[in-house]
A and B are shown apart, each in its own frame.
Chain A
Amino acid sequence: MNRRQALSSLLKTGVVAAGAAGLGAAAGYFSARAVGGQTTSGLETGVRPIKIGFQVHRTGIGAPYGYWYERVANAAVNYINKTGGIAGRLIELIAEDDETSPAKGAQVVERLVLAHNVDFILGALFSDVVLASGPRAGELKRPYFAVSEGTHVPFGKLNRWCFQPGITDVPGQVTAVAKWIFENLGKRVAMIYPDYAFGHDHRDALTKAAERYGGRIIEKIPIPPGETSFTKYFTRIPRDIDVLYHVMVGDVLTFIRELGVYLGRERPELFGFIDSIEAVPLSSPGLEYLEGTYFWEGFPRYADGYDTLYSRFYREAVGVDENGADKSDPSRVSAFSHMFGVWETLFVIKEAVEQSGYSGQTQRDYEAFIKTLESMDWFNEGLWHPQGDKLFNGRLHQSFGHQFISVVRNGRLVVVHRTEIEDSLYEHPNDYTRQSLF
């Protein structure tokens, strides 16, 4: 084969690869740009819209969440734009796929700032993407809002430009539900969790909570990421425990099925985090084993779990039915326990812009925006915060809120307890306000 032939065939293969990328974009079936379904002109003639960049997990392992995060973001932007925008300006949402990849995530942050000149960035869910993106946002001096649950924001692993006001973090969630677990299900607990940052946050938080509430963690069973067969690890579950605490990502359906076969009906109480089955129908084969077991929920999947005027409005706005599924496709279950964080974050941005008088991308405006946000300490429950009111810690850049505990009954999640905000509070020495902004 001569060089010309080689080049020709390489080009042909390149077409295949390019076709893949193109089809990938098409299969994403999301619009890349959305101004809430409206035109890009501002409410006031000639006023530049507020540009919010949006890092979305459209593809990759985070895609089940990404679909719903994007849908909620578009719904919130629609609502804000129809009701006066932010300080009289429309929002222009510029969404880009980060492929749930840390490297791509940092690139997306760069593109949003350098190519699209966004004012703010609505960030990602997966910890590794947030950890790679936050530092770049700090270097480029753009406020970055994670909707992740990870400890990277509150524990000071990022920088003063990174916030997590729309969703509570894992230590807050675990601390809140641990009290109920130890008081109601039993003191002797074994835990199964993924062996990386997200799982370690659970391990550390539950271990601390056990000390606080007189519980005992009898066995910790970390599962390597990417595992597809679990029975071999179940032999480590002690016989004499009261509760098996489980939080899994990845091949969750296999995990539950194999757990069911291994433990059978003579099982301890099971307490899981909804993350394991988020966006998964409870009617999926194998999940019948979960009947009678307990779950943490961030925001109840079923409407009767927390039926308020605000939650009904929010559910309607994002197109989710009373069972937590897509109104137009009941088989498509939403990521209801997490996606409200996107909605609430956009309203926090609106509130901070309007209170700070932010008008453009100047040092003075960003300084005012960030200091205003850091001075906030409470978000009232309402249309802007339908999941419930929240305490915001400006030093940690993190919100603390109510959590829900549900039991699986007749194939549905039924809320049995709503924790108080105080139950989720913890101490941490981090203080972002001491960092310089510029």
Chain B
Amino acid sequence: MFPLEHLGLALFDGLVNGSVMAFIALGLTIVFGIMNVVNLTHGELYMLGALTCWLLVQSMLPYASALIVAPLVSGGVAVIINMLILQRFGHEPGQTILATFGLLLILQQVALAIMGPAPRSVQAPFNPVIELAGFSYSGFKLVAGLVSISISLLVWLVVEGSRLGSLLRASQENRMMAESLGIDTNRVFMVGFALAGALVGFAGALTSPFRQIHFLMGLDALAMSFVVVVLGGVGRVGGTITAGLALGLLESLTALLLTPTLARVLTVALALLYIVARRLGAPRGGWRY
């Protein structure tokens, strides 16, 4: 059996990692979940946020400036991608997947040309080691987790309770009807892309001091974001937050009991089982968040 402080650390680390995971996936929930656009550049927009942060810090600018500039860069790139390419295809799934896959490669190669192939890192602006119930934890990572969960909850409120959320859903569910009611669906999609890009760009800058910055880092972020979004129920921001936290906790707790790789396999297997079970209609009354 493991010592009690290990359980405390697993719970704590699981919640922090889960919050960050959910935050990274949030933009994909908006674009893929609500707007039904399969945007494979999501992970690269995350990488762009981190890359922007590294470039700014390298240029002797304060880390805080990255939290403002990175969302603008990633959001701006997302808007350009939508305006110049995806909008012209009417966001048709097959062509969107092909186009965003091509863009994913382009963004990776641009990053490779800018930062080189070696991994990069950014110094945290503050990083006290916090002593908690028998274990120590990175103060900055804890703050990043808190910021992640706070912004995620705020976005949940905005998307679920505001006119913007209604417009996004209406534009996706019946574009023709929305347009006949006077809604400029292209503009709504543009706002959706900008918001999603800005969020994931912010996440890239926020996590830079405790994640390695590398031109391929977007691939892992993309894969994990899809898992979180699908697990949480496509289109449900609350579901994405819950799924991120659940996955983070599950990974941490299983790692206490099993070998690391088995823990990972079990986590993904349980997530898949859950998705299948939900598709089959269990439990009674359906799933609500």
Contacts and interface: CB of A to CB of B under 8 A. Distances in A.
Interface of A: 1, 9-10, 12-14, 16-21, 23-24, 26-27, 29, 59-61, 63-64, 66-67, 195, 221-224, 226-229, 231-233, 235, 251-254, 257-258, 261-262, 264, 279-280, 284-286, 332-333
Contacts of B235: none
Given A13-B98, A20-B109, 10 more contacts: A1-B92, A13-B99, A23-B105, A27-B109, A61-B216, A64-B119, A67-B117, A235-B9, A251-B212, A285-B122
Given A20-B103, A235-B9, A261 B116 contact: no
Given A61-B216, A332-B118, A264 B89 contact: no
A227 B210 CA distance: 13
B171 interface: no
B71 interface: no
Contacts of B264: 224, 227
Given A235-B10, A254-B211, A285-B123, A17 B98 contact: yes
Contacts, number: 147
B95 A233 contact: no
Nearest to B114: A27
Nearest to B119: A253
Interface residues of B, number: 56
Given A253-B212, A254-B211, A195 B260 contact: yes
A262 B135 CA distance: 7
Interface in B63-102: 85, 88-90, 92, 95, 98-99, 101-102
A14 B98 CA distance: 8
B209 interface: yes
Contacts of A10: 95, 98
Contact of B110 (A23, A252, A332): A23
Given A13-B102, A253-B121, A254-B212, A59 B95 contact: no
Contacts of A26: 109
B106 interface: yes
B13 A229 contact: yes
Contacts of A59: 108-109, 112
Contact of B6 (A13, A221, A235, A286): A235
A261 B138 contact: yes
Contact of B252 (A23, A27, A232): A232
A262 B6 CA distance: 11
A386 B77 CA distance: 48
B255 interface: yes
Interface in B138-185: 138
Contacts of A27: 109-110, 112-113
A195 B92 CA distance: 40
A224 B118 CA distance: 21
B124 interface: yes
Contacts of B129: 261, 264
11 contacts: A9-B88, A16-B99, A24-B109, A66-B117, A224-B264, A227-B260, A232-B13, A232-B256, A258-B138, A279-B118, A332-B118
B103 A16 contact: yes
A252 to B, nearest CB: 7
Contacts of A232: 9-10, 13-14, 17, 251-252, 255-256
A261 B85 CA distance: 45
Given A222-B259, A235-B2, A333 B118 contact: yes
B55 to A, nearest CB: 13
Nearest to B112: A27
Interface in B35-68: none
